[in-house]
Chains A and B, each alone.
Chain A
Amino acid sequence: MGASPVLPPVIVVGAGQGGLQVAESLRSEGFSGDILLLGAEHHAPYHRPPLSKGLLLGETTAGQVLIRQPAVFDKKGITLRTGTRVAGLDPAARQIVLETGERLEYQALVLATGARPRRLPVPGADARGVHSIRTLDDAQAIGAELAAAENVVVIGGGFIGLEMAAVARKLGKAVTVVEAADRLMARVVAPPVSDHYRALHEGHGVTILFGTAVAGIAVEDGTARGVRCADGTMLPADLVVLGIGVEPETVLAEGAGLVCDRGVVVDGCGRTSHPDIYAIGDCAARRLPDGQCQRLESVQNAVELGKACAAAIVGPDKPFIAAPWFWSDQYDAKLQMVGLSAGHDTVVARQDGATCSWFYFKDGRLIAIDSVNRPADHMAGRKLLAGPNVLTPEMAADGAYPLKDAMTAPVA
């Protein structure tokens, strides 16, 4: 019998949310070749969202954040190699090079390398007691210091920083959030949403300093003791958590000459500028029909682009086109967001007691909804934003108007 030629595996670099999705979706799309999933971390793929939520509160254990047990990888025929960092790509030879120098051949390569936390470029930022929160190891290191900490300073008033602030308050710590802008989550939500969250955090006893830059970390015996602000204020701190954003992990792609624009540039199926190389998740910047590149940092984006990438490798294409969605848990407030509000010209609120949704319009067209404890509005928004709709700001603001009617209702 003639041996059939054995193709090299599909190699997925990065064993996070997106990498796991590609590997599993390759199987559900019917791919029968070898799949090699390589991750630099020592952990099997895990959920990152609980790191700044239930994990530090003890509501979720490290065992519960792992997405799959080892046996599942065997069952699905996926070879997982953790603790394995890829050092470079050699697209001409269709090979990757590991840190150890080992070379591995691929038939298709997927970069799912995620993002790394931005560093704080001030003196003292590398002291003990100063942490980013990206990995399970980061969260466990914070957890180990949190119990004994009295004063927690969070630098950055974005989602992760605010989730961290909420967790620390729930644990009874004194918490200060230092934010450079004049409002919270300024990059993604409108001023009324920022105001809502400011009131929420201040109501829970968090001190928020706006328009405040950090000049340095005060260090004693190698350990952080305070945060020095640019205006000279010294904030006592025994735990400092950085929530100042992330940079896409594009080192491998750039080294191989792939087109990057604040992320590895891809189409709706994760295809990069090089045939047989794909990129998905936090490291990828998706080219939209208007030519703009959009990089998202969310579970949905990692999962959906992961599915689309697997489909493209197996064929036929199933591009990722759904409206982006995201959530954030702070105290008992669940923020659910759908669509992207950047560029809006009108915001209207739909409110009932402590629950509220903000609807964003541009040129009369709905582009996004942010909801606090109003899951039905959020889910209606996912459907409204998936197709044509006739929702006007007046309808959105009228709590009695059934949102689902706007999906089909003809304009009167």
Chain B
Amino acid sequence: MVKIIYKTHDGDVSEIDVPEGWSVMQAAVSNGVDGIEAECGGSCCCATCHCYVDEGFADKLAAPNDQEEGMLDNTVAERRSNSRLSCQITVTPALEGMVVTLPEVQS
């Protein structure tokens, strides 16, 4: 299990123990964290699982592929340098303690 910390726009914090191999999105949705819609269920087709990742973990994440890039350009909340689609981040032990901040709106 890897601890991921989700912070909603309102400042609600949920610490979730995520099984390795799950996506950051799956663990949030499975636990009913508000602020992630994930309409497409992780197929990288909806951009409603947008999150801002802890800058300190940037080098531990694989770069977005072309599909994620294209969808990230179309998030409803502003795209920032640390924007990612949470369904495309697979949890590994290297992400222990990573904080992901959720935008105010997803759709």
**Which residues of B sit under 8 angstroms from A334, Cβ to Cβ?**
43-45, 67
Check A375 for interface membership: any CB of B closer than 8 A. Answer: yes
Which of A65-73, A109-117, A130-138, A256-264 forms contacts with chain B?
Answer: A65-73
- As a 0/1 sequence over residues 16 to 45 of chain B, the CB contacts with chain A under 8 angstroms (1 = contact) are 000100100010011110000001111111
Given that A334-B67, A336-B45 are contacting pairs, would A299 and B30 also be in contact in the complex, using a CB cutoff of 8 Å?
no
| Alpha-carbon distance A71/B32, docked complex (angstroms) | 9
Number of interface residues of B (CB under 8 A): 22
**Which residues of B sit under 8 angstroms from A98, Cβ to Cβ?**
none
Which residue from A75, A325, A374 sits with its C-beta under 8 Å from B32? Answer: A75
B47 x A379 contact (CB < 8 A): yes
Number of interface residues of A (CB under 8 A): 30
Which residue from B19, B30, B43, B47 sits with its C-beta under 8 Å from A67? Answer: B30
Which of B5-13, B68-76, B92-100 forms contacts with chain A?
Answer: B68-76
**Which residues of B sit under 8 angstroms from A223, Cβ to Cβ?**
none
| Alpha-carbon distance A329/B39, docked complex (angstroms) | 16
| Alpha-carbon distance A66/B45, docked complex (angstroms) | 19
Check B66 for interface membership: any CB of A closer than 8 A. Answer: yes
| Alpha-carbon distance A378/B42, docked complex (angstroms) | 17
Interface residues of A in 23-80 (CB under 8 A from B): 47, 49-50, 53, 63-69, 71-72, 75-76
B39 x A299 contact (CB < 8 A): yes
A66 x B30 contact (CB < 8 A): yes
Which residue from A300, A303, A325, A375 sits with its C-beta under 8 Å from B67? Answer: A375
CB A175 to nearest CB in B, in angstroms, measures 22
Which 5 pairs of residues, A with B, have the shortest CB-CB distance? A375-B70, A72-B32, A379-B74, A47-B41, A327-B45
Report B's interface with A, CB cutoff 8 A.
19, 22, 26, 29-32, 39-45, 47, 66-67, 69-71, 73-74
